[in-house]
Amino acid sequence: MLSRFVSKVAPRCNQSIRSYSTSQHFMTNNTTTFPSQHFEKYLTEPQTVDPEGRGYSYLVVGGAAAGLAAMAKNTVVSALSTMSPGQDILALSSVEIDLSSIPEATAVTLKWRGKPLFVRHRSAEEIALAQSVDVSSLVDKEADNVRAKDPEWVILIGVCTHLGCIPIAGGGDFAGWYCPCHGSHYDNAGRIRKGPAPQNLIIPPYKFIGPQQIIVGDE
């Protein structure tokens, strides 16, 4: 009976052993031969890698050139836009002023072309004081009748000729304008009388278009 059992089991064991050996041999062959074949194929096939990295260099140089071109364009556009006057300044290239609203012995500050504009209505005493000044004693020698087309009215650009500050009306030693930045004193005709300013306050182009009306910016 034992011999009969062995005769039935033995063929199955032998078959399992042969199957295991075949699988082991297949796995062994795979683990030993596949890397070798793959490595030989890697060595024999032509490679397409750029050893000097020229493609990457071209990409970097091209990107940098495009960036520099864009920066140069923006710089030129910004420079041109700053050189051209704004729409608000163009709209105020000339301005009409009604003088009847300015009381005697007072000065007002308006705006013209982005700059302060001084308009002074002088009294008879102020006119007499300005006309009595010895022109030869002035730093920037101008007579009063040259500074005012009508003795009652003085029209000036309100920018100090020293460093571009805005003088204060009614201040200083000569009751005209005073620049607190560096101590320039102007009389009621806008002439420099004391301080570092080298010139009188600038007179803008203007003309009378009526007894009590002027236009600034048009001669």
77 and 120 part of one domain: no
Q: Active-site residue among 38, 121, 162, 182? A: 182
Q: For residue 170, report the phi and psi dihedrals to the nearest 5 degrees.
A: 80, 0
Residue 42 sits in which domain range?
2-83
What percent of the chain clears pLDDT 90, i.e. is strictly above it?
55
Local structure of residue 87 (DSSP, 8 states): H
122 and 34 part of one domain: no
Question: Looking at residue 31, what is its pLDDT?
Answer: 44
- Return d(Cα 107, Cα 172) in angstroms, integer: 15
60-85: pLDDT as tens digits: 677 777 777 777 666 665 655 555 55
54 and 131 part of one domain: no
95 and 36 part of one domain: no
136 and 172 part of one domain: yes
Measured in whole angstroms, the distance separating CA 189 from the mean position of its chain's CA atoms is: 38
Q: Is 52 helix (H, G, I), strand (E, B) or coil?
A: coil
210 and 102 part of one domain: yes
Task: Tell me the DSSP string of 180-216.
Answer: TTTTEEE-TT--EEESS--SPPPPPPEEEEETTEEEE
78 and 96 part of one domain: no
69 and 94 part of one domain: no
71 and 97 part of one domain: no
Question: Looking at residue 93, what is its pLDDT?
Answer: 84
Name the domain boundary from 83, 110, 142: 83
69 and 105 part of one domain: no
74 and 157 part of one domain: no
Question: Looking at residue 54, what is its pLDDT?
Answer: 63
Query: Is residue 25 among the annotated active site residues?
Result: no
Structurally, the chain folds into a number of domains equal to 2
Measured CA distances, 157 to 53, 68, 90, 92, 175 (Å): 65, 43, 17, 14, 17
The reported pTM is: 0.59
Return the CATH number at 107.
2.102.10.10
Q: What angle do CA 75, 81, 83 make, to 5 degrees?
A: 105
